[in-house]
Amino acid sequence: MPSYKLTYFDFDGGRAEPIRIAFHAAGIDFEDERISFPEFGEMRKGTRFNSVPVLEIDGAAVTQSNALSRYVGKMAGLYPADDLQALYCDEVLGALEDLSHYVVQTFGLQGEELKLARKKLVDGWLSVYLKGLDELLARGGGEYFAGNGLTVADLKAFVQVRSLRAGKLDHVPADLVERLAPGLVEHQERIEGDPRVTAYYASRS
Ligand SMILES: N[C@@H](CCC(=O)N[C@@H](CS)C(=O)NCC(=O)O)C(=O)O
């Protein structure tokens, strides 16, 4: 078994969280390297695309969170074997990545500029993606996005919806998901209660 070291920010969320949960579900030991923002500032230029997460496999760095989620997800049984279901899983991973990109564009703004950008986000891309993801969940049967079981797509959606519902983004109403995509709320709670997910968080506490 190779050695794995995953480097990301020190919080239970974001792009690395599905990878961490999948490692735990697979029963694979990995070094969970959690860095502060100042530490990231120091190492940023040394990373391949000036970003994290980075997974080192026997010391060789690999980037791109969705690719890493798929890689670890396959080892954990959290990625569909069927090609069409894998495509459905990938569509959700890609959509969530696009949504993160739009959300991150509003980071660092302040005051009126932030308020306007967040209003535009809520009325625009957030609405588009939440409604679209709700449809994709319905396509999967309503409980999971693909393959009638837990996949890394569910993990990534759960992490994003949990974050939105926590109300931590100023000017983004905490009940936005409830209003636009109620299926995603039920989904988040279902995934949060999955034994593989609860076991991961129990191991963290
Ligand atoms: N497509 C990349 C995006 C990585 C990314 O943008 N990561 C953020 C943190 S979640 C980052 O490191 N940003 C650094 C910066 O913008 O300076 C992935 O999915 O891994």
Tens of pLDDT along 143-158? 999 999 999 999 999 9
Distance 39 CA to ligand 1 centre (A): 15
**Pocket probe mutation, ligand 1, options 15, 40, 64, max atoms within 8 Å of Cβ:** 15
Q: What is the pLDDT of residue 171?
A: 98
Q: What is the pLDDT of residue 26?
A: 98
Confidence (pTM)? 0.98
Given a contact cutoff of 8 angstroms between Cβ atoms, the answer to whether 133 and 146 are in contact is no
Residue 52 CA: nearest ligand 1 atom is 12
Task: Mark the ranges of the chain whose per-residue pLDDT is less than 70.
Answer: none
Question: Distance (Å, rounded) from C-alpha 4 to C-alpha 55?
Answer: 7
Say yes or no: CB of residue 24 within 6 Å of ligand 1.
no
Q: What is the pLDDT of residue 10?
A: 98
Burial of 202 (0-12, 13-18, 19+ CB in 10 A): exposed
Given a contact cutoff of 8 angstroms between Cβ atoms, the answer to whether 135 and 84 are in contact is no
Number of neighbours of residue 175 by Cβ within 10 angstroms: 11
Given a contact cutoff of 8 angstroms between Cβ atoms, the answer to whether 126 and 179 are in contact is no
Question: Distance (Å, rounded) from C-alpha 185 to C-alpha 132?
Answer: 14
Residue 177 CA to its chain's centroid (Å): 16
Question: Distance (Å, rounded) from C-alpha 112 to C-alpha 174?
Answer: 20
Sequence-distant (≥ 6) Cβ neighbours of residue 133 within 8 angstroms: 92, 95, 96, 157, 181, 184
Q: What is the pLDDT of residue 155?
A: 99
Which amino acid residue places its CA nearest to atom 10 of ligand 1?
Answer: 15
> Position of tokens 């509003």?
106
Question: Distance (Å, rounded) from C-alpha 62 to C-alpha 97?
Answer: 17
Q: What is the pLDDT of residue 119?
A: 98
Number of neighbours of residue 125 by Cβ within 10 angstroms: 16
Q: What is the pLDDT of residue 67?
A: 98
Sequence-distant (≥ 6) Cβ neighbours of residue 132 within 8 angstroms: 95
Distance 174 CA to ligand 1 centre (A): 24
